[in-house]
Amino acid sequence: MVQHWHCCPGNGGATSVEVFQNHRDVALRDVVWYRGGDGLGLCLVILGVFSNFNDLNSRTGRSATADHWFFLSLQISEKYGPVFTVHLGMQQAVVLSGYEAVKDALLNTADVFADRPAIPIFHHIQHGNGVFFSSQELWKTTRRFTLAAMRDLGMGKRLAEERMLEELQFLIELIKSFQGGPFRLRLLNTAPTNITFAILFGRRFDYGDPTFVTLLRLIDEVMLLLGSPFLHLFNFYPFLGFLLKPHKMILKKVEEVCVILKKHIQESKANINGNNLMSYIDALVFKQEEDNKGSTLFHDANVLASALDLLMAGTETTSTTLQWAVLLMMKYPEIQKKVHAEIERVLGPDCLPTFEDRKNMPFTNAVIHEVQRFVTLLPHVPRCTSADTHFKGYFIPKVRAALQPKSRRWHVGQNARGDLERGLLLRTQ
């Protein structure tokens, strides 16, 4: 039985569903409902392509469709329940909507939903390697190693705090150099980026260092391109890649980043000292040489991909969160005043904060968490099922092959306010 959800005329005569607080278009041409017979429940078929690409682009690479999908999924789940299937271009997806469904999947069946699919753009970049976009044994081993390496390099310890406080002094001096004048908010990226670089390369960079400036520029450009509407189109319809430009530009810029990483990896190989590992790259290289006698998952491609993951994801997420924090403080000056008063009361005018101070600054700590809840940094990072499973009465099969038909994917995202109500998205290509 075919059911049509109510649609209304959108811009340019295209039909679109109005379900948002500000009545923005969903940017979908036609929406058709039917009950599927493949064991995956209700299916939403989207015919055509996005009708308003402008809604997809944003300065930070955050797609407006993340918010659109939240409101749309709520509308759908109210009528058909917390589990339903959607078709996005050539990809199929199972959406888990609502706190209870998400909690059940993340906590009770976490191992089943822990795998990663191949998103076209990231597959072209990483080829299934690295920390974030690998799967199965490679993902488990690389992730376990990375967490251990981070701890050995001081993350979560006093050493990391000292490194952050040192970098904060450099950032303060940089801000003071403007003598009260305006400066670009992106300037705040320098400090968290340099902390990540210190972990990755074993040393901090001067803010004017050519390598530092080049990497900052390339990271920024790649993140902007990741928000391109035509990149979303490429991920939905990869066979159209020869007609599209953003993914080609991303691959070119990522290759420039990889040239720099390869240089540092080679330097580490030439000077490696197992008793004095100074960086994440050192740890990767030492692990690779240590395992060389047998079959190793830490081959050159995985070493490079893991370093690239830390470089890209370890810098942009924190930097963007800082910018959102400043913008939200400007939007809510009464909150800013309360935060400032608490900091003045606990730290005074000259003391720098430490991790221990958090317990004495509950309001500031709550505001920081609220910023993280509010911001949707990674709305489109899917996973896939690693084994056949039954969930909420529906059968979801194990992913069979990356980028092949009938492979199931899932995605846990955050809504416009950052909580779990947006739900899980299990994708099938």
pLDDT in tens, 337-387: 999 999 999 988 778 888 888 899 999 999 999 998 888 676 566 777 888
**Amino acid identity, residue 412?**
V
Task: Identify how many contiguous H helices and E strands the chain contains and give both numbers.
Answer: 13, 12
Question: Do residues 118 and 107 lie in contact, with contact meaning Cβ atoms separated by under 8 Å?
Answer: no
Q: Return the closest-CA partner of residue 41 out of 387, 383, 395, 385.
A: 395
Report the chain's mean pLDDT, rounded to a whole number. 75
Rounded to an integer, what is the distance from CA 163 to the centroid of its chain? Answer: 25
Structure tokens at 249: 């530009």
Closest to 386 in 3D by CA, of 412, 413, 408: 408
Query: The domain at 138-315 falls in which architecture?
Result: Orthogonal Bundle (1.10)
Residue 115 phi, psi (nearest 5): -85, 170
Q: How many residues does the chain have?
A: 429
The CA distance from 139 to 131, in Å, is: 6
Q: Is 5 exposed, middle or buried (0-12, 13-18, 19+ CB in 10 A)?
A: middle
| Strands 382-383, 389-391: pairing kind | unpaired
DSSP result, 212-245: HHHHHHHHHHHHHHHT-HHHHHHHH-GGGGGG--
Tokens of 239: 């066979």
Provide the 8-state DSSP code for 248. H
- The residue type found at 182 is P
* pLDDT at position 419: 34
The predicted structure's pLDDT at residue 408? 38
Q: Parse the chain into domains and list their residue ranges.
A: 2-119+381-428, 138-315, 332-377
In this predicted model, what pLDDT tens digit does every residue of 192-242 receive, in sequence order? 899 999 999 999 999 999 999 999 999 989 988 988 889 988 988 888 889
Strand partners, 425: 95, 411
Looking at residue 22, what is its pLDDT?
Answer: 28
User: Residues with Cβ < 8 Å from 345, sequence gap 6 or more?
Assistant: none
On the CB side of 280, how many CA atoms lie within 13 Å of its CA?
A: 29
Q: What angle do CA 79, 13, 56 make, to 5 degrees?
A: 65
Most confident of 68-72, 85-89, 292-296: 85-89
Q: Check whether 266 has a pLDDT greater than 80.
A: yes
75-84, 252-261, 342-351, 401-410: the lowest-pLDDT one = 401-410
Cα separations in angstroms, 298 against 47, 119, 265, 340, 370: 43, 22, 13, 47, 38
